[in-house]
Amino acid sequence: MSNKVLVYIDHFHGEVLPISWESLGVGRKLADELGGDVAVVIGGQDVKDAANQAFHYGADQVYYADDSSLVDYRPEPFASLVSQIAREDAPDVLLFPTTTRGRELAGMCAIDLNSGVLPDVTALEVQDGKLTATRPVYAGKLIATVVCDSTPQIITTRGRAFDKPELDASRTGEPTQVDAPLPADDIQTQVIEYSEEEGGVSLNDAAVIVSGGRGVSSNPNLTPPEDLDEKGAEIWRAQQGFKLVGDLATVLGAAVGASRAAVDAGYIPYDQQVGQTGRVVSPDLYIACGISGAIQHLAGMRTSKVIVAINKDPDAPIFKLARYGVVGDLFQILPPLTEAFRSRLDK
Amino acid sequence: MNIVVCIKQVPDSAAKVMVENGQVTWGDAPLVMNPWDEYAVEAALLLQEEQGGDVTVLSVGGGDVDEALKIGLAMGCNNAILVTDPALERADSQATARVLAAAIQKIGDVQLVFCGKQAIDGDMGVTAAQTARVLGWPILSLASSIKMEEPLIRVERTVEEGRQVVEGNLPAVVSVVKDIAEPRYPSFMGIRKASRATIPVWTLEDLGLEAPTFHVSWPELNNPPVQEVTNEIITGDSPDDVANALADKILGEKVL
Amino acid sequence: MDFNLTEEQMMVQNMVRDFAEKEITPIIKEYDRKQEMAPFVLPRMAELGILGICLPVKYGGQGMDYISLGLACEELEAVDSTLRVVMSVHMGLNSMGLIQWGTEDQKQRFLVPQARGDKIACFGLTEPGAGSDVAAMDSTARREGESYVINGEKMWISLATKAHNVLWIARTDPETNDPHDGLSAFLVELDREGISRGDIHGKLGVRAGSTGWIACQDVRVPLENRIGEEGEGFKIAMSCLDNGRYTVAAGATGLIRACLDESVSYAQERNAFGREIGKFQLVQQKIAHMVQSYDAARLMYLQAGWMKNQGIRNSRQTSLAKWFATDASFEAASQAVQIHGAYGYSDEYNVERYLRNSKGAVIYEGTSEIHQLIQAGYALGYRQDAPLRKELPTYDEQAWREN
């Protein structure tokens, strides 16, 4: 074993995705365990800053390609770049973050380097000098222990499964520039245009859902506009409450759901209803705000991995199912909760 | 415009999958076409309606895989091919990609290969990119819409930062996501044809391939640890305290 | 004896199940509450070929066998009975009557468009004053030269206001000794002058469907629209019922399955006295009976379907299957509501709709009481099936799939 680790740093127009630093953190730990170095590879245009940052997060060596043909990610030149560096550097382990780009690059490099890829790994262990990885399979219903018996062992690390390393600005180095691997004319794809994602996350397949129930409309401290009648005022209050739900969802990249009570009362459209007569969802995280947890709502979300409940009523049935609960006023809890996540997630 | 759709036969997504004696079981749940691949078949059939040509559905697997292939035929694909060989049992994604690539070359005159985003058993999500790499063709992955802009193919895809439009030369490999279109039901005419069809079976020898070595293996498969749902009520001196404590706990669960 | 479905039959079953679950399940509660049929149901079933499933391709159908019809009905009713009612009247009672009794010309004129789903068909036998007592019907069809003049009112007609064609039974000869002998059958296009029709609301169940009345006031139909010979009307109606009842039996089987599936799911979720209610024996008993009913009902309708495929007269088996499955589905639905407790009493869950829907099937296409008389009649030798002048065509895969 060469004891070397090479890590691909994924970025968008020079802005490194935090998950890349997590992969680098994994690489650093592995290299330390194996008694070797960790190198990093970055491709793009104007990526010198990102290259320097890699040293702060633990890289011993940084290879970067800076070329107009690499301004936008395209699979072929990026795979060729990584594979080329990997052939020269001959690491034992080649790490990628599990992003749309990282995953396919890892697969392509496995072909180039005649090795094997282990995607979306949630844990890594060195046993008797051999690396074993853990990854979920069958849509997370089972856990597999997987190994690759050739080098480099190509692994993509799942987001948030590993800690982000500390930034040490005093840790610096000189990055090594390399040439773009392919002549621009040889590249078979072209990025035509790009637009930022508008609109919310859809309930289907959402990994995180924040839902509001009847309790969302009951903030006594809000004064509705005078021209509204009683029903209108109730809906207005509910909309203010759902705005808080929406703010938290935005910070978490989550979809917004609702209980039947909220939909029936007209606070929110039916296609966001979670429950027996709405949608059945199974996200990794379900945050229920002002939802009591009647059985027909639970039927729609009980298989969520982690359930969090915020409700004024300490006897609300949902607390029996919730991993974490807060007995309190969602109007008081949601805004600081949103802020707490905002700062922790660098948003 | 000849299209090959690579499909996999997997246990139904509603199946109760468990490990017993180190082996995966799914009771008597049926084996079906991988749901993501149904979208790939639909995308191919839609493109065929526009551009003409043949759609072939291709799978690497055991001898019983012809059920998924027959669904492909019943949906309207013109041909189906099964590649099977005892040497491919426990094939890793690299080997599968090489076999698919060889089969695609053998089919010949193929302009597009469509795949689903991932198979719901292995959840690897790399077969499309690896097959493209073996073929030396461009990969346009995670397509939510596909259009021919002769002589290029144009796809819209969603990445972490937003939507992107990418064009590629043909021949190319495209992987699709569910936004592409609702898969059609098999028609009765399709069902009649499919049940009568004999699906050609190719072995490694037919593809001119040696028995491959596999680099990736799964030494262990386990049921997820049974989590007793503990209920923890978070308290604090102020809403800010509670919020911070809760955020930390949630982040500790590593679900974000 | 091979009890397995063929690969093809399984594909048919899956296809119809997918359609019903994906397209009907999300909207059925809304339409059941509105007491209206969702406008896309008939066109969509036509588009998918379901309305012509077991008719030969050369008559515009899909060339599948009678078992496929049964499987389709089981899947449709597992989502809602109204979907299967469409098959009962359009296919079972009307279209299959045409393929059995119609002339080649009548098949071309009426059956082909129905098989394609271009025209919707229904069945006019029951009257306000004549249900079980078919022979007591008042509707007349007076011969006048080269046409008949039809008068009368039919009631409790599914798809009355949606259909284009009705198979109408009326009295052509008031003088016969036995009133059963004076009836004839007519295919009446519902856009003829003198026809009025309307919807009936306020039914206990099948509310997402369309039930109504059709009245004929001096409606003139040409001779060529008479199905079969004068005086054959009763025999034709009874053989149409053999096919309608078959779809009801298959559908009720699906309803039992739906009750069973939902009861199992709820019993595994709902907790009482510290455990899931599925652990309690009285809940288990209800579920066990549903399983028994489902398995038995399924075998009975499949056998009837097999007999139809073989060209074997199956009036007795179809009657038995219908009687058994419908009674069992009413009981299963009642127990399903009970398992759900108060939630079963609310339309939050599906089981109350199953219960309301199931009661209709115990009444129509021969009440359970009528079927008991039929079965006793066969057993005691008071009733025998004489060969018919025209029998339901045997299923012939090759011939049915030729263009």
pLDDT the model gives residue A294: 83
DSSP state of A220: T
Identify whether the C-beta of residue C37 lies closer than 8 Å to the C-beta of residue C82: yes
Task: Find the mean pLDDT for residues B90-116.
Answer: 97
Give the SS3 label for residue A81. helix
- The whole domain housing B160 covers 2-202
pLDDT grade for B159, boundaries at 50, 70 and 90: confident
> What 3-state class would DSSP assign to B106?
helix
Q: Residue C27 has which token pair?
A: 């909207």
Looking at beta carbons, which residues of chain B come within 8 Å of C49? Answer: 187-189
**Same domain as A88, residue A157:** yes
pLDDT at A93: 97
pLDDT for res A199: 60
Chain A residues within 8 A of C343 when measuring between CB atoms = 295-296
Q: What's the sign of the alpha-carbon dihedral C126, C128, C132, C135?
A: negative
| Domain co-membership, A145 together with A212 | no
* Span A101-111, average pLDDT: 98
Cβ neighbours of residue A20 closer than 8 Å, sequence gap 6 or more = A7, A8, A9, A10, A11, A97, A102
| C-beta atoms of B243 and A336 within 8 A | yes
Which chain C residues are Cβ-neighbours of A272 within 8 angstroms? none
Q: In this structure, are residues B142 and B159 in contact, taking their beta carbons and an 8 Å threshold?
A: yes
Q: Which residues numbered 276-335 in A keep a CB inside 8 Å of some CB on C?
A: 276-277, 295-296, 298-299, 302
ipTM: 0.93
CB-based contact C11 B74, cutoff 8 Å: yes
The reply to whether residue A295 touches residue C343, judged by beta carbons under 8 angstroms, is yes
For residue C270, the chain A residues in CB contact (below 8 A) are 295
CATH number of the domain encompassing residue A155: 3.40.50.620
Q: Of A64-73, B61-70, C331-340, C350-359, where does mean pLDDT reach its minimum?
A: B61-70
Question: d(Cα C351, Cα C263) in Å, to the nearest integer?
Answer: 9
Please report the pLDDT score of residue A4 as a whole number: 94
CA-nearest residue to A200 within chain B is B162
What is the rounded average pLDDT of the residues A171-184? 95
Distance from CA of C16 to the nearest CA of B (A): 9
Report the distance separating Cα B6 and Cα B176, nearest Å: 11
- How many Cα atoms are found within 13 Å in the side-chain-facing hemisphere of C266? 27
Distance CA C190, CA C160 (A): 9
Which residue type sits at A38? V
**In chain B, which residue's Cα lies nearest the Cα of A199?**
B162
Helix (H) and strand (E) counts in chain B: 6, 15
Domain contains B210: no
Residue C11 and residue B194: Cβ atoms within 8 Å? yes
For residue A197, what pLDDT is reported?
A: 65
Residue A202 lies in a domain: no
pLDDT beyond 90 at C351: yes
Beta bridge partners of B116: B176
| Closest by CA position to A57, among listed A35, A28, A37, A86 | A28
Give me the pLDDT at residue B122, please.
Answer: 93
DSSP string, C283-312: HHHHHHHHHHHHHHHHHHHHHHHHHHHHT-
Q: Please say if the pLDDT value at position C334 is more than 70.
A: yes
What is the pLDDT, as a whole number, of residue B225?
A: 81
Test C53 with B189 for CB contact under 8 angstroms.
Answer: no
Residues C382 and C45 sit within 8 Å (Cβ to Cβ): no
Residue B13, pLDDT above cutoff 90: no
pLDDT tens, position by position, A259-281: 988 887 788 887 788 987 677 78
Average pLDDT, chain C: 97
Residue C190 in this model has a pLDDT that exceeds 90: yes
Crossing angle of helices C66-79 and C233-269, rounded to 10°: 50
pLDDT in tens, B40-72: 999 999 999 999 999 999 999 987 778 899 999
Q: Where are the domains of chain C?
A: 7-119, 122-229, 235-389
Region C281-305: mean pLDDT is: 98
Q: How many CB atoms lie within 10 A of CB C174?
A: 9
Alpha carbons A262 and A276: distance in angstroms, whole number? 14
Residues A174, A271: one domain? no
Question: What kind and span of H or E run contains B25?
Answer: strand B23-25
Residues A161 and A278 grouped into a single domain: no
Residue A92: pLDDT over 80: yes
Q: For C20, which residue in chain B has the nearest alpha carbon?
A: B185
Residue C343 to residue A260, Cβ atoms within 8 A:
no
CATH topology of domain C7-119: Butyryl-Coa Dehydrogenase, subunit A; domain 1 (1.10.540)
**CA contacts within 13 A on the Cβ side of B64:** 7
Contact in structure between C188 and C226 (CB atoms under 8 Å): no
Fold of C235-389: Butyryl-CoA Dehydrogenase, subunit A; domain 3 (1.20.140)
Does A347 score more than 70 pLDDT?
no
Q: Are residues A56 and A127 in the same domain?
A: yes
Which of A89, A82, A31 has the alpha carbon at shortest distance from A58? A31
Pairing of strands A38-44, A61-66: parallel
Contact C18 B185 (CB under 8 A): yes
Closest partner residue to A324 (CB to CB) among B126, B141, B249 is B249
Q: Quick one: CATH architecture of C122-229?
A: Beta Barrel (2.40)
**C-alpha angle C115-C116-C122 in degrees, rounded to nearest 5:** 50
The CA-based angle C174-C177-C178, given to 5 degrees, is 90
**pLDDT for position C305:** 98
**Better-scored residue on pLDDT, C170 or A227:** C170
Residue A200 lies in a domain: no
Report the C-alpha gap between B94 and A279 in whole angstroms: 37
Task: Check pLDDT > 90 for residue B23.
Answer: no
* CA pair distance A100, B164, nearest whole angstrom: 12
Positive or negative CA dihedral for C56, C59, C62, C66? Answer: negative
Cβ of C270 within 8 Å of Cβ of A260? The answer is no
Q: Is the pLDDT of residue A231 over 90?
A: no
Report the chain A residue with the minimal C-alpha distance to residue B171. A188
B223 inside 8 A of chain A by CB:
yes
The answer on pLDDT for B154 being more than 80 is yes
The single-letter DSSP state of residue A134 is E
Domains contained in chain B, number:
1
| A179 and A249 co-located in one domain | no
**A207-211, B98-102, B248-252 — most confident range:** B98-102
The range of the structural domain enclosing residue A142 comes to 5-186
Task: Give me chain A's average pLDDT, please.
Answer: 91
More confident residue, A209 or A203: A209
Would you say residue B45 lies in a domain?
Answer: yes
* Same domain (yes/no): A11, A160: yes
Q: How far is B70 from chain C (nearest CA, A)?
A: 9
Question: In which region does residue C210 sit, left (phi positive, over 0), alpha (psi from -120 to 50) or beta (all else)?
Answer: beta
Choose from A98-112, A209-223, B23-37, B224-238 the range with maximum mean pLDDT.
Answer: A98-112
How far apart, in Å, do the first and last CA atoms of chain A sit? Answer: 40
Overall average pLDDT of the A292-300 stretch: 84
Which tokens belong to A344?
A: 């922790």
Strands C195-199 and C211-222: antiparallel
Q: What are phi and psi of B115, to 5 degrees?
A: -135, 155
Nearest residue, CB atoms, A325 vs list B94, B233, B256 = B233
| H/E stretch holding B174 | strand B172-176
Judge whether residue A206 has pLDDT over 80.
Answer: yes
User: Mean of the pLDDT values across residues A23-46?
Assistant: 95
B44: domain CATH number is 3.40.50.620
Q: What percent of chain B has pLDDT over 90?
A: 82
**B156 touching A (Cβ < 8 Å):** no
Q: Are B70 and C7 inside 8 Å of each other by CB?
A: yes
Q: Which residues of C10-28 are buried (b: 16+ CB within 10 A; e: fewer)?
A: bbbbbbbbebbeebbeeeb
Q: What mean pLDDT comes out for the span A149-172?
A: 92
User: What digits encode the pLDDT tens for the residues C194-247?
Assistant: 999 999 999 999 999 999 999 999 999 999 999 999 999 999 999 999 999 999
* Nearest-by-CA chain C residue for A264: C348
Reported as a single tens digit per residue, the pLDDT across C115-136 is: 999 999 999 999 999 999 999 9
- The pLDDT of residue B47 is 97
B window 64-83, beta carbon within 8 A of A: none
What is the rounded average pLDDT of the residues B159-176?
Answer: 93
B17 in a domain, yes or no?
Answer: yes
Give the CATH number for residue A271.
Answer: 3.40.50.1220
Q: B215 and A116: CB-CB below 8 Å?
A: yes
Question: Do A224 and A320 lie in a common domain?
Answer: yes
pLDDT band at C35 (very low <50, low <70, confident <90, very high): very high
Q: Which of residues 184-213 of B touch C (CB under 8 A)?
A: 185-189, 191-192, 194-195
Chain C residue closest in CA terms to A260: C348
Whether residue A260 lies within 8 A of chain C, CB to CB, comes out as yes
Residue A110 inside a domain? The answer is yes
The pLDDT of residue B226 is above 90: no
Q: With CB atoms and an 8 Å threshold, state whether A302 touches C343.
A: no
Q: Is A192 part of a structural domain of the chain?
A: no
Size of interface A-C (CB pairs under 8 A): 14
Helix (H, G, I), strand (E, B) or coil at C37: coil
Decide if B23 touches A, using CB distance below 8 A: no
The token duo for B133 is: 């790499």
Give whole-number Cα distances, C59 to A247, C109, C165, C390, in Å: 60, 10, 17, 18
Q: What is the DSSP letter of A57?
A: T
* C339: nearest Cα among C255, C274, C271, C277: C277
Average pLDDT over residues C342-353: 95
Catalytic sites of C, residue numbers: 365
Closest by Cβ to A141, choosing from B17, B178, B219: B17
